Chains A and B, each alone.
Chain A
Amino acid sequence: MTANVVPALEVRNITKQFPGVLANDHISFTLLPGEIHAFLGENGAGKSTLMNILYGLYDPDEGEILINGKLAKIKNPADAIGLGLGMVHQEYALVDTLTVTENIILGTELRKGPVLNAKEASQRVRELSEQYGLAVPPDAIVGDLPVGVQQRVEILKALYRNVNMLILDEPTAVLTPQEADDLFRVMRELADKGKALIFITHKLREVREVADRITVLRRGKVVGDADPKTASEGQLAALMVGRDVVLKVDKTAANPGDVVLKVRNLNLRDDRGLTVLDDVSIDVHAGEVLGIAGVQGNGQTELVEAITGLQALPSGSIELLGKDITNRPPRSITEQGVAYIPEDRKGTGLVLGYSIRDNLVLSTYYKPPFTKGLTFNDQAIDENAKELIETFDVRTPSATTTAGSLSGGNQQKIIVAREFTRKNRLLIASQPTRGIDVGSIEFIHNQIIKQRDAGLAVLLVSAELDEVLALADRVAVMYHGKIVGILPIAEATRERVGLLMAGIQEQANV
């Protein structure tokens, strides 16, 4: 990688303005053949916008793109692929009912006269998969494969189209740690064979593990380049957010008290009769955080909704402080001291069209002091808003601003403020920091620990293993609707939990 190598891709001064937001502000970078170039940034830093411009999905307002030293006009994804630039999106574009081979060749079918030349296509897929160490079963139906393998199919799809540059947009979001490690091995293999890779992520650990070069984006601008060999996670985080953040959550050892939440033998099937919850039993004690780790979609959502009364249960029992709350209405459960941060902030936790002020009383509006007699007590509602906005550091021009116009982190702070200020005994936090900025993550983590130290029982559900490991005192792992293991934090190493998340039971720990 000497200076006189022609870059596979060079981007100069790309600018893209959206209404009210400068998503990309004069971004320039180069991508050399054979390197893995990581783009690190928080949500909304402009990473995806930039990649969508490269892939021809957006038109830049300014700037130029050079491919192999020549000016390129990329009007649509077909242009991009034609120029040797492929992309693997967060959401895979695969047809579940077709085979791996069929998915890969879709749109570029090899023909023998009018007939599909299936044999040769299959042969080429096999060659490619061997060449790059991307093991896939060519004749399996895609819908039956695990996500990690589906992702390989997506990568093969791009390689089949002879790309020499590949954009991977948040490729690890849905993978178990083992699957992610596998992906990194594949990425390295591809780079060694001369492909240039762009790796988009907001996970610090991953870039240090796999990238050759790191570019950090913040608020649409390139704020720095870093060498993964020398930069520390702390330095990278500071670049991302513009200030030093404490990645490690400061907390003392838990001091568990009595059982607050007692869940016994929950079973649930979905509409298709598939098992969603499989005999789930857990206890959460006062003053401890029980973290539930697991790849998303393994029953965590339903477990939480069952506890909060949003999901009806055919069998099993849930007790809060010895009182049965199974299948009680949500309001009655809330009133018994349950705070709940739902996983879908925008869809469930907030009414985006409502003001912050109204969202802050969404679950308490009917009680004094907010309602006096028949009508609202505006003064109390206003004071509540003013106080919570200040205490929870919600960055907003006013209390009457709509929740929908705030950033994700500030939206989440509204939910936290509302839920934490009731008289609670149990706190359920589901994906509490998903997709928000590092500053807000730090704030919310500290708030959760503060609640624990105040004697609440905390049930934390997160798809981010790092988050569970940072906050939890005990870690339960869910796989296919089952609790496959509960480990004290001291024994919960990334590797052990990762294996459990992938459904591999430890022999020793039965």
Chain B
Amino acid sequence: MSNEQQAPAETKPTTEPKPSKRRFGWLNEAIVPLLAILTAVLIGAVIVFVSIPSNKLPAFDLSLYGSRSDWFFSTLPERLRVTLSAFTGLFSGAFGDWTNPSSIPVAMSNTLVESTPYILAGLAVAVTFKAGLFNVGAEGQLLMGALGSVAVAAFMPQWFGVASLPTIIHLPAALLAGVIAGGLWGIIPGYLRAKTGAHEVITTIMLNYIALQVMDYLINGVMKDKSATLQRTPFIHENAALPRIISKATDPSLTGGQAYPRLFTTTSSTWDLRIHMGIVLAFLMVGFIWWLMNRTPKGFEIKTVGENPEAARYAGMSITGTVVGAMGLSGALAGLAGTSQVIGLEYNLKAVFSSGLGFDSLAIALLAKSNPIAIVPAALFWGALRTGAGAMQVNTGISINLIQIIQALVIMFIAADQIVRWIYRIKQAEGGKITFNRSWGK
């Protein structure tokens, strides 16, 4: 039974496509996400332009302006100014006000701090995308990681009846606890998928709720810091903390008597930064996942199961093992994201810890097309938007919601990349080549 519907693919002459030197191969991959961002930002600008709060504009007065439309046209320069200031505000919030160099380190550091969990959780989701799985559970795995690490970081010495443990033991134990807790939270839906066929989208959503309730229960129960007014755990031991890179010395009276570590101490406010070793861990993980996916048999198995499970089974790969392994690895990475937030940044776990980080990571993995290296710029972009949003609101009165609109548009354009291809006339990459087609035909 031949299938000539596929005639076009079959008759392809065997001497094309040319093995092009793919020097800018990454650009082919990146073009759609970049244009998606550009389009989303432009649409965001239009939204700002037309919806500027009236208190930022001269009031409409019939005696001054002949009509509503005259008034509207007279406000155009002001609207343009406000729109531009929204984006300069966004930029300076994220990367510093470049007319005032002393603002740069803090802004950059804040962006990197915001981006750190995005990198780790984005990697987590990317790994499952590669395996053909859709892990919506990064949020829950992240929470379990935070819980696991805070349990060890805050309480481990008292389990052994000592005042403190050396850093060499306590810090790795805290990291490991977060990674294992997140990993287990990923293995559960992985196992259910592989053995019973229960779809991971459903199970991970359910496990997100369970994680949230478990965290709530513990933070209001055995793990509650009774001396605190906030609902939170006690501060973690200083020996379990990931060091900051450079900052002023902290005041132990504000942090439960703990003096948290830093690599370099400064007295200058310019260099009093929140950036911590979590970012280094995140970059290490990027390298590790790239290596795993591209250089090792295990990564090959994950990708093959994702691309074509039938062929994977035929080639003797274990589908069950690969699915469980990929979900476990994903959970571990998400768990590490939660861990780094707790032991690197916040030093305790609050009931309000949940932040939607795990959900944003889905967007980041999509934006990066699951490429571990591309996760870094995607996460930085997301972190910069979040950091800059606050400054933008202060400077221009434009609501932070604008950022959410832009983020949502980016995701929409990535998910429906045909829209972007249509707007910019990019033909479907064939043989790894992109072509801009200027005519409006097909």
A398 to B15 Cα, complex, angstroms: 9
Is residue A349 within 8 Å, beta carbon to beta carbon, of the partner chain? yes
Interface string of B1-12 (1 = CB under 8 A from A): 111111111111
Q: A residues within 8 Å of B by Cβ?
A: 18-21, 23, 43-49, 90, 170, 173-174, 202, 219-220, 296, 308, 310, 329-332, 334-335, 340, 342, 344, 347-354, 358, 362-363, 365-366, 371, 374-376, 395-398, 400-401, 404-408, 410, 434-435, 463
B14 and A49 form a contact (CB under 8 A): no
A219 and B314 form a contact (CB under 8 A): no
For B11, what are the chain A residues with a Cβ–Cβ distance below 8 Å?
Answer: 21, 23, 44-46, 219-220, 407
B297 and A400 form a contact (CB under 8 A): no
B19 and A351 form a contact (CB under 8 A): no
For B15, what are the chain A residues with a Cβ–Cβ distance below 8 Å?
Answer: 395, 397
Instruction: Evaluate whether A405 and B1 lie within 8 angstroms (CB atoms) in the complex, with A363-B315, A371-B297 already known.
Output: no
For B6, what are the chain A residues with a Cβ–Cβ distance below 8 Å?
Answer: 44
B430 and A19 form a contact (CB under 8 A): yes
Interface string of B314-342 (1 = CB under 8 A from A): 11111000000000000000000000000
B17 and A405 form a contact (CB under 8 A): yes
Contacting residues of chain B (1-60) with chain A, CB-CB under 8 angstroms: 1-12, 14-19
Is residue B70 within 8 Å, beta carbon to beta carbon, of the partner chain? no
A353 to B430 Cα, complex, angstroms: 12
For B291, what are the chain A residues with a Cβ–Cβ distance below 8 Å?
Answer: 375
A132 to B101 Cα, complex, angstroms: 92
For B17, what are the chain A residues with a Cβ–Cβ distance below 8 Å?
Answer: 397, 401, 405
Nearest chain A CB to B147 CB, angstrom units: 32
A170 to B18 Cα, complex, angstroms: 35
Contacting residues of chain B (403-433) with chain A, CB-CB under 8 angstroms: 430-431
B297 and A21 form a contact (CB under 8 A): no
Q: B80-88, B177-185, B305-313: which lies at the A interface?
A: B305-313
A170 and B12 form a contact (CB under 8 A): no
> 16 A-B contacts, Cβ less than 8 Å apart?
A19-B430, A23-B8, A48-B5, A48-B7, A49-B7, A90-B2, A308-B314, A342-B314, A353-B307, A354-B304, A363-B316, A371-B296, A395-B15, A405-B9, A407-B14, A435-B2
Interface residues of B, CB < 8 Å — how many? 36
Interface string of B150-178 (1 = CB under 8 A from A): 00000000000000000000000000000
Contact of A202 among B2, B9, B10 (CB under 8 A): B2
A330 to B309 Cα, complex, angstroms: 14
For A47, what are the chain B residues with a Cβ–Cβ distance below 8 Å?
Answer: 4
Is residue B134 within 8 Å, beta carbon to beta carbon, of the partner chain? no
Q: Which residue of B lies closest to A48 (CB)?
A: B4
A352 to B9 Cα, complex, angstroms: 12
For A19, what are the chain B residues with a Cβ–Cβ distance below 8 Å?
Answer: 8, 430
A405 to B297 Cα, complex, angstroms: 25
Q: Which residue of A lies closest to B297 (CB)?
A: A366
Is residue B295 within 8 Å, beta carbon to beta carbon, of the partner chain? yes
Is residue B359 within 8 Å, beta carbon to beta carbon, of the partner chain? no
Instruction: Evaluate whether A310 and B313 lie within 8 angstroms (CB atoms) in the complex, with A347-B308, A400-B19 already known.
Output: yes
Contact of A362 among B19, B296, B315 (CB under 8 A): B315
For A329, what are the chain B residues with a Cβ–Cβ distance below 8 Å?
Answer: 316, 318
Q: Which 4 A-B pairs have the closest CB atoms?
A: A331-B316, A44-B10, A48-B4, A398-B19
Nearest chain B CB to A468 CB, angstrom units: 16
Q: B residues within 8 Å of A by Cβ?
A: 1-12, 14-19, 291, 295-297, 300, 304, 307-308, 310-311, 313-318, 430-431
Instruction: Evaluate whether A347 and B8 lie within 8 angstroms (CB atoms) in the complex, with A397-B15, A405-B431 already known.
Output: no
A376 and B296 form a contact (CB under 8 A): yes
For B431, what are the chain A residues with a Cβ–Cβ distance below 8 Å?
Answer: 405
Instruction: Evaluate whether A351 and B308 lie within 8 angstroms (CB atoms) in the complex, with A366-B297, A397-B16, A405-B12 already known.
Output: yes
A351 and B430 form a contact (CB under 8 A): no
A19 to B7 Cα, complex, angstroms: 11
A362-B315, A405-B9 given; name 20 further pairs at CB < 8 Å: A19-B430, A21-B8, A21-B9, A23-B8, A43-B7, A45-B11, A330-B315, A332-B316, A344-B310, A349-B311, A351-B307, A351-B311, A353-B307, A371-B296, A376-B300, A404-B9, A405-B12, A405-B17, A406-B12, A463-B1
For B8, what are the chain A residues with a Cβ–Cβ distance below 8 Å?
Answer: 18-21, 23
B311 and A350 form a contact (CB under 8 A): yes
For A351, what are the chain B residues with a Cβ–Cβ distance below 8 Å?
Answer: 304, 307-308, 311
Instruction: Evaluate whether A348 and B7 lie within 8 angstroms (CB atoms) in the complex, with A170-B2, A202-B2, A398-B19 already known.
Output: no
For A406, what are the chain B residues with a Cβ–Cβ distance below 8 Å?
Answer: 12, 14
Nearest chain A CB to B182 CB, angstrom units: 24
Instruction: Evaluate whether A395 and B295 lie within 8 angstroms (CB atoms) in the complex, with A19-B8, A202-B2, A310-B313 already known.
Output: no
A352 and B308 form a contact (CB under 8 A): yes
Nearest chain B CB to A30 CB, angstrom units: 22
For B5, what are the chain A residues with a Cβ–Cβ distance below 8 Å?
Answer: 48
A407 to B2 Cα, complex, angstroms: 13
Q: Which residue of B lies closest to A220 (CB)?
A: B11
For A398, what are the chain B residues with a Cβ–Cβ distance below 8 Å?
Answer: 19
Nearest chain B CB to A207 CB, angstrom units: 15
For A407, what are the chain B residues with a Cβ–Cβ distance below 8 Å?
Answer: 10-12, 14
Nearest chain A CB to B305 CB, angstrom units: 10
Nearest chain B CB to A85 CB, angstrom units: 19
A360 to B10 Cα, complex, angstroms: 20
Nearest chain B CB to A3 CB, angstrom units: 32
Instruction: Evaluate whether A347 and B1 lie within 8 angstroms (CB atoms) in the complex, with A18-B8, A23-B11 already known.
Output: no
For B18, what are the chain A residues with a Cβ–Cβ distance below 8 Å?
Answer: 397
Nearest chain B CB to A307 CB, angstrom units: 13
For A44, what are the chain B residues with a Cβ–Cβ distance below 8 Å?
Answer: 4, 6-7, 10-11
B308 and A23 form a contact (CB under 8 A): no
A401 and B307 form a contact (CB under 8 A): no
For A362, what are the chain B residues with a Cβ–Cβ distance below 8 Å?
Answer: 304, 311, 315
For A363, what are the chain B residues with a Cβ–Cβ distance below 8 Å?
Answer: 314-316
Q: Which residue of B lies closest to A44 (CB)?
A: B10
